[in-house]
Amino acid sequence: MVYTNSVFYRRTDKDEKHGLDESGNIQMHNGVICRNFENITSSDAPIECDDEFYREFMEDIIKQRKRLSPVRLELSRELDEEIVEKLCRYMDIERKYVFRNISPLDLSFVFDLQDHLRQRSELFYPKRIPQKSAQFVDGRPILEQIKEKDKLLAYPFDSIKPFLNMLHEAAADKDVVSIKMTLYRVAKNSEVVNALIETAENGKNVLVLVELKARFDEENNIEWSRRLEAAGCTVIYGLNGFKVHSKLCLITKNINGNPEYYTQIGTGNYNEKTARIYTDLSLMTADSTIGRNANDVFNALASDTTVKSSEALLVAPNCLQNRVVEMIDEQISLAEKGEEAYIGVKINSLTDKTIIDELIKASKAGVKIELAVRGICCLIPGVQGETENIKVISVVGRFLEHSRIYIFGKGEAAKIYIASADFMTRNTLRRVEVAAPVYDECIRDQIVYMFDKIMSDNVQARELSSDGNYIRVENNNEKINSQEHFYDKAYEQAQAAEMISGK
């Protein structure tokens, strides 16, 4: 056998005649090679540990992962049956778990292709750069602006820089006494973590929950946790039995002996890289109730427990699913009275049976329901007598749709939230998740506008039909690519703000 590894450079200049990459060429000229199959191991085994040395425990788990038992064998080309049988015996895999795939098993080489094809401009999307948010004014402290009015960043259309500037500003602010944050997936060279280190080095209290069970980011998180601890941050490593998936940051000032809270709640990770390629929302507010609730969340995490109740925030696992059900019931009551009732939800997946049953109940009562579910959806819309009032679309485009939005009702009475949680049982009952209410009228209008544009997308959207199939949305309406539309708006607003500031 001929083994290849990371030292063997994968060719990205494709063979013009055969269209083969490095692995294909090796396979063409060698009888039996290891590059011809991929060994998939079980890397999602449950992790339970009461050991106080949790980081060391996770390091051991990562080492074990490389030696875990294979669960399937994937072949990219035909191999002699005798060789396949030997491989199955060697890896203790049943023959039914052997799969053949005509595509390359390792697609990582695709990322290198772009550098070889830059001269082929027709193969690339038009260049898009996250824009400076018009909600922030240059030359003024970020925290001061948030205190005056809530702010919302919509990634990747808006730049993440105002959030990063807020952290650096807090690190130097003499009135700031602490920063608390949950970290799930961060960038390899994380400016977020560097800002937290800067804060601790300036003598302020920094509490960081680093989720070491963030799948395939464990090693990166372990390394950052070491650096945070070395800088003097207090680092905790999640809860037994629960992943901490919330995106929560709390900055506390001491003003004349009283706490003043600045809270950021997001739908996506504190990651500068994904902020350029995922669609996410980031709400920044000085609302005191939200701040107190966020502080309760961190106090519970530091005590290795979960929040039992919360006034403003929805906090899984104890007070998110039940509150969502209550708000669905409120819309059902409106419909039964003959009043306008509406539910709009944008999430990645819908599998929570309790919520699905409530949505079906709402549909039967006449509530209009619009769902933008990018991935798994276990609810079938358009079934007469059951879900005929439910519309489900999936938008898959240039950027990964990742934001979560909950809307219950219409107009001023609507309850609007952004959240870290999908409507999956693992999110609503087995993770620590946070959804935040949106109170600012302008931001509420902005979120509803974005949701309506997504539901009107007829370029990237597919609609789920009652037979379970997704059908490309085709109509005679104006063509709307929601992602490109939001980017165009971001460019227009940034240019308008620049013209105003230049006067």
Instruction: Just list the catalytic residues.
Output: 245
The closest alpha carbon to 243, from 187, 200, 182, belongs to 182
Beta-strand relationship, 400-401 and 278-285: parallel
The closest alpha carbon to 222, from 451, 457, 11, 54, belongs to 54
Distance, in Å, from the CA atom of 417 to the CA atom of 415, rounded to the nearest integer, reads 7
Token pair listed for 346? 């944008």
Sole residue written with tokens 């709640």: 265
User: Are 254 and 177 a contacting pair, CB within 8 Å?
Assistant: yes
Distance, in Å, from the CA atom of 22 to the CA atom of 172, rounded to the nearest integer, reads 51
Q: Residue 51 in 3-state DSSP?
A: coil
Beta-strand relationship, 368-373 and 390-395: parallel
118: DSSP letter: T
Distance, in Å, from the CA atom of 146 to the CA atom of 262, rounded to the nearest integer, reads 8
Sole residue written with tokens 């080492």: 63
Cα–Cα distances (Å) from 105 to 35, 65, 99, 100, in that order, read: 9, 20, 11, 10
479: DSSP letter: P
Token pair listed for 285? 């507010």
**455 — phi, psi (to 5°)?**
-70, -20
Sole residue written with tokens 């990205």: 12
Contacts for 401 with CB less than 8 Å, ≥ 6 apart:
278, 279, 346, 348, 372, 374, 395, 454
Distance, in Å, from the CA atom of 493 to the CA atom of 141, rounded to the nearest integer, reads 21
Token pair listed for 245? 């998936």
User: CB count, 10 Å around CB of 107?
Assistant: 9
Q: Side-chain half-sphere of 238: how many Cα atoms within 13 Å? A: 30
Overall residue count recorded for the chain in this entry: 503
Q: Residue 225 in 3-state DSSP?
A: helix
Token pair listed for 492? 């227009």
Beta-strand relationship, 205-210 and 176-183: parallel
User: Are 459 and 480 a contacting pair, CB within 8 Å?
Assistant: yes
